[in-house]
Amino acid sequence: MTKRDIKRVLGAGVLASAGLMSGVANAALNQASNVGGGGVTLTNSGTVEVLASALQLVKQVWIGGTCMASIPADAACNGSAITVTVPSGTALKFMIFVKNNTAIAISDVRFQDAIDDTAGAAGGFTPTAASLKYDMSQNGSATAANIYTAVIAGTAETDAVDAGAGNYASILNTGGTAALDNLTVGAVPGQVNATLNVNANTTFAIVFDAVKN
């Protein structure tokens, strides 16, 4: 596997909504004015500033309890590595997490990971059936190591689509070489799971096993 392959799997395959894309905080100003006229005199209100902060979406690959690569880069993960080369047959875990370190709960969070399942040593990965777990016990400023420890011991998900309460993720076969190759979290169209809401100052994480082809 080339470094380009692992980078593609870590980053480009993940699509997100509900403010998950990278960016800076944005501000909006709202001011009321007198539009009624007549015999009532009104003065302009004070300004109200509304701040919105982008959530952080991270994907990492872990091997034997050690973080090997992360997008975006994490200084605590293998010296900020965003790529790693592993031989065929290597068992690994992919962890994806969303950090909401604001004081506002976020509703209807969705993201999708199209897993590279190309066959052969130069190809991608084969996800392991029935390996999905999620966790929401960590706060919005938790370290990746703490998030990983929590999600490894987290709540098991089934691979199948199930929009019932607490069934936030599914991983299905969309026709590739592996039995499973498409992960969705939340109410993603076409593979709709339970609606994912992330409380204020909370991290949502999901993990699944895979083997390098």
Spatial distance between the Cα atoms of 193 and 160, rounded to a whole number of angstroms: 9
pLDDT in tens, 24-66: 444 555 555 555 555 666 677 777 666 666 788 999 999 999 9
- What is the rounded average pLDDT of the residues 165-184? 90
Average pLDDT over residues 100-119: 92
Question: In the predicted model, is pLDDT for residue 8 greater than 70?
Answer: no
Query: Helix or strand or coil: residue 47?
Result: coil
Candidates 2.60.40, 1.10.3470, 2.40.30, 2.40.128; correct CATH number of 3-20+58-212? 2.60.40
d(CA 199, CA 205): 13
Cβ atoms of 107 and 186 closer than 8 Å: no
Q: Cα–Cα–Cα angle for 59, 154, 171, nearest 5°? A: 55
The span from the CA of 140 to the CA of 169, in Å, is 20
Examine the pLDDT at 178 and tell me if it is beyond 70: yes
Confidence tier at 1 by pLDDT (50, 70, 90):
very low
pLDDT in tens, 121-164: 788 999 999 999 999 999 999 999 999 999 999 999 999 999 99
Statement: residue 80 has pLDDT above 70 = yes
Q: Give the residue-averaged pLDDT of 68-89.
A: 95
Name the burial class of residue 121, with classes exposed (0-12), middle (13-18) and buried (19+) by CB atoms within 10 angstroms of its CB: exposed
Helix (H, G, I), strand (E, B) or coil at 7: helix
**Average pLDDT of the residues in 170-186:** 90
- State the chain's maximal CA–CA distance in angstroms: 81
What are the domain boundaries of the chain? 3-20+58-212
